[in-house]
Amino acid sequence: MSRFPLNRIINTQTVALAGVLLLNWILFPGFFKIEWQDGRLFGSLIDVLNRGAPVAILAGGMTGVIATKGVDLSVGAVMAVAGAVAATMVDAGHSTAAAVAGALAAGLLCGIWNGVLVALLDIQPIIATLVLMVAGRGIAQLITEGSIVTFSDPALIYIGTGSFLGLPMPVVIAFLLMLLATLAVRRTAIGLFIEAVGVNRSAATLAGIRSRLLLIVVYSLCGLCAAIAGIIVAAYIHGADANNAGLWLELDAILAAVIGGTSLLGGRFSIPMAVVGALIIQAMNTGILVSGYPPEFNLVVKAGIITLILMIQSPFATMVLAWFGRGEKRSLRCTAACARSWQQSPSSSSPMRRPSCSFRRCFPRVSWAIS
């Protein structure tokens, strides 16, 4: 893993994030200033992380779903449900732990519902999750009985506004979740299975992968992530707003996952890059806010920058870049694989040493991009 650390860190997403941050800095020179006050850090950068955390958490779950060639439109509504459950439970006198557990269970249940519709009933994901997108807010309103339920439970509020080691709690939670999720998919076979199901579900089933179970698990985890984000948002405003909590955030989450390099056609995915995608979106929001431009520009500028990022990632741009870099850049991974097979079996019968590829004349990435 540590063979090409630079190669792993520098990519379109991180460069785009750096670019957006740099732009913010140009427009607002104090952007990178971070202060230490009352035992925690303050500053625009911390703000980006803090405000971006809910979408980052959503994006983590959403990436898994999109990698299976699905999509979950219900995450915003599930956030509202989870917030409503947590708020009404603490107000009813339950302990904070019970309230959080209840909210998480509600999110998990919503996820299982989505998963069952998609995996067992074979309903198209966009329709299956649309059901809960619409119904979810209704359920949340029923739970809160139509009003905004406020609460003053300090432990619950701490989740949204407290800090740990100087960092806001939402940032800490999002970071830990990202770490946990990445390890969970990459240190087990789940990541490979998700990609396999996303690329070709029928072949995955025939190869002995329990696709249905996998889909249910993936949608459940997405629901769980939404619930966590919902609790954070509710805790942040000290109340559950069934109508507005998480409104349109499903779209930000999808966008973050796509900026993170996950194709809506399923297959390859990266949770850390989706989180970077979420931060790009939030950095733009914050940047426009602090730079003093009138808020009317907000959405248009955001759309423009996102279009630019997506253009850079498009197959067309890959082709153009490949054309400029042809003949020079060898694919490092490819070279490594060839070198390995060379070491293992230098005999000329090795499949790696056919005319198309010898150790030195390795198949470059260029031709993959063209085809």
Partner 1 sequence: MNAARVWVTNPRHDNARPAGIPAGFVAGPRRRGKHGGSELTQTAFRMEARGVSKVFGNNTALDAVDFGLLPGEVHALLGENGAGKSTLIKILTGAYQPDGGSIHVDGVEVEFDSPLDAQSYGIGTVYQEVNLLPNRSVAENLFLGHQPTRFGLVDRRRMDREARVLLTRYGLDIDPSSELGMHSVAVQQIVAIARAVQLSGKVLILDEPTASLDRDEVQRLFEVVSGLKQQGLAIVFITHFLDQVFALDARVTVLRNGKLVETSELGEMTRTDLVRRMLGKDIAFSGSTSLEAERAFDEVLMSFTDYGRKRSVQPFTLDVHKGEVIGVAGLLGSGRTEMARIMFGVDPADSGSVTLRGKAVSIKAATDAIGYGIGFCPEDRKADGIFGDLSVRENIVIALQGKLGWFRALNRDEQLELAGQFGEAMDIRAASLDMPVKLLSGGNQQKVILARWMATDPDFLILDEPTRGIDVGAHAEIVRTINRLRNDGMALLVISSEIDEVVAYSSRVVVMRDREMVAELRGQEINPGIIVQAIAAHEEAST
Does position 196 bind partner 1 by CB under 8 A? yes
Which of residues 37 and 347 has its CB atom nearest to partner 1 in the complex? 347
Which of residues 97 and 203 has its CB atom nearest to partner 1 in the complex? 203
CA distance 24 to 43: 13
- The dihedral built from the CA positions of residue 217, 221, 227 and 231, taken in this order, carries a sign that is positive
- Cβ atoms 128, 114 nearer than 8 A: yes
- Cβ atoms 230, 79 nearer than 8 A: yes
Does position 93 bind partner 1 by CB under 8 A? no
Does position 368 bind partner 1 by CB under 8 A? yes
Q: Which of 98, 264, 317, 357 binds partner 1 (CB under 8 A)?
A: 357
- H or E stretch at 79: helix 75-91
Shortest Cβ 28–partner 1 spacing (Å)? 41
- Cβ atoms 88, 240 nearer than 8 A: yes
CA distance 23 to 202: 46
Which of residues 308 and 370 has its CB atom nearest to partner 1 in the complex? 370
Token couple for 189? 């076979």
Considering only residues 103-142, where is the footprint of partner 1 by CB under 8 A?
none
Looking at 223-231, 279-287, 298-306, 327-335, which segment touches partner 1 (CB under 8 A)?
327-335
Q: Tell me the residue type at 103.
A: A
Does position 356 bind partner 1 by CB under 8 A? yes
**CA nearest 73: which of 134, 27, 10?**
134
Q: Which of 190, 289, 301, 321 binds partner 1 (CB under 8 A)?
A: 190
Token couple for 305? 């920058």
35 by DSSP, 3-state: which?
strand
Q: Which of 179, 207, 251, 311 binds partner 1 (CB under 8 A)?
A: 207
Does position 206 bind partner 1 by CB under 8 A? yes
Distances in Å between the alpha carbon of 261 and those of 90, 160, 275, 305, 358?
A: 39, 29, 11, 16, 31
Q: Which of 333, 346, 348, 359 binds partner 1 (CB under 8 A)?
A: 333
Q: Which of 208, 294, 295, 315 binds partner 1 (CB under 8 A)?
A: 208
319 by DSSP, 3-state: which?
helix
Does position 188 bind partner 1 by CB under 8 A? yes
93 by DSSP, 3-state: which?
coil
Shortest Cβ 346–partner 1 spacing (Å)? 13
Binding interface with partner 1 (CB under 8 A): 187-190, 192-193, 195-196, 199-200, 202-210, 267-268, 326, 331, 333-334, 337-338, 340-341, 344-345, 349-352, 354-357, 361-364, 366-368, 370-371
